[in-house]
Amino acid sequence: MKYLNVSKAKSVYAAGGNVTEFLRKETGSPVNTSEIIEIAYDLQAGSYIEGVQANMGQAKAYAGELAGLLAPHMEDGKTLLDVGTGEMTTLSLLLASLDQKIGTAFAFDISWSRLYKGLGFSRSLLKDQSSLITPFVADMKAIPLADKCIDVVTSNHALEPNGGNLSGLLTELFRVCREKLVLFEPSYELNSDEGRQRMDRLGYIKDIEGAVAKLGGSLLDVVPVPNVANPLNPTACYVIEPAKNDFLSVGPSGERAAFTVPGTAFELMKTDGFWYSKETGLAFPELKGIPVLKSDNGILASHLG
């Protein structure tokens, strides 16, 4: 990881400023890099839980709408992956209102602190059902899961800040997804002029339809979500079939997904509290029960195994 002095970013956050905008200026980057996104969101850890607890009715109504849009694409026993899950607030509320009994919900975020806070929220809301969720730290551009091991991939405003790399992220989501992606993301195309200007200023994604087509995927449907919190950032549900890729082997649905070296098919096994790959000799840490599986967290330890 490139180190940045986060104290200035903390002051910007405390004063209600936009941290990604500040860090882009500070680092001279035209786009939100993974490091910028990680810092900006890690500083906010806990704030979404507070927001949801203060507006539980609105949060439940929104998650209920998402569950209704996801339901036709889910069946009992299927594997779900929530990318950029944050504090697991939307995922937990969505699982609470989904009729299907999903097999496993994998959930990752680039920020460890947000997942750590989120574990407490999901346990208090879902009780025993929270054990369905397997959380881990990862960057969407190199997901530590094997090819085609997830039935349905979902997101809620998570691809959003990655305006500089939408195609890269979709390529990786297509790699791990076996059946469908049901993404709840802001729609630039359905937005007002004022909303588009805001999305441009914040480095948000646009033209999901064009990016999916370029990669050989199929956009099956785009449905505006009625219950949006911010009219300048309207959510749409994008139902996408991943590109067919003959080079990737597709295992049977229900096969247990395993962690891998980020962005590859090299499997990781748990050894002495670390996640270890025999083939690459890389070990990845686990902090408070949360595996930290980002490429730059790999430690070359060829003698560990």
Ligand X SMILES: C[S@@+](CC[C@H](N)C(=O)[O-])C[C@H]1O[C@@H](n2cnc3c(N)ncnc32)[C@H](O)[C@@H]1O
Which spans of this chain sit near ligand X (rule: CB under 6 A)?
34, 37, 41, 48, 84-86, 89-90, 109-111, 114, 139-141, 156-158, 160-162
* Closer residue to ligand X in complex, CB, 2/303: 2
Report in angstroms how near the CB of residue 254 gets to ligand X at its nearest: 25
* Closer residue to ligand X in complex, CB, 111/277: 111
Which 8-state DSSP code applies to residue 125?
H
Instruction: State the chain's maximal CA–CA distance in angstroms.
Output: 57
Strand arrangement of the beta sheet that strand 299-300 belongs to: 269-271, 274-276, 282-284, 299-300
Report in angstroms how near the CB of residue 305 gets to ligand X at its nearest: 28
In what helix (H) or strand (E) does residue 57 lie, and over which residues does it extend?
Answer: helix 56-70
Quote the CA–CA distance of 194 and 218 in Å, as a whole number: 29
Contact status, residue 184 vs residue 156, Cβ threshold 8 Å: yes
Report in angstroms how near the CB of residue 118 gets to ligand X at its nearest: 9
Q: Select from 208, 137, 212, 222 the least CA-distant residue to 171.
A: 212
Sign of CA dihedral 239, 208, 1, 149: positive
* Closer residue to ligand X in complex, CB, 104/162: 162
Residue type for position 25: K
* Closer residue to ligand X in complex, CB, 229/269: 229
* Closer residue to ligand X in complex, CB, 58/302: 58
Report in angstroms how near the CB of residue 276 gets to ligand X at its nearest: 23
Report in angstroms how near the CB of residue 138 gets to ligand X at its nearest: 6
Quote the CA–CA distance of 57 and 43 in Å, as a whole number: 26
Report in angstroms how near the CB of residue 132 gets to ligand X at its nearest: 17
Contact status, residue 82 vs residue 107, Cβ threshold 8 Å: yes
Residue type for position 20: T
Contact status, residue 180 vs residue 239, Cβ threshold 8 Å: yes
* Closer residue to ligand X in complex, CB, 54/246: 54
Report in angstroms how near the CB of residue 57 gets to ligand X at its nearest: 17
* Closer residue to ligand X in complex, CB, 184/275: 184
Q: β-strands 235-241, 269-271: how paired? A: unpaired
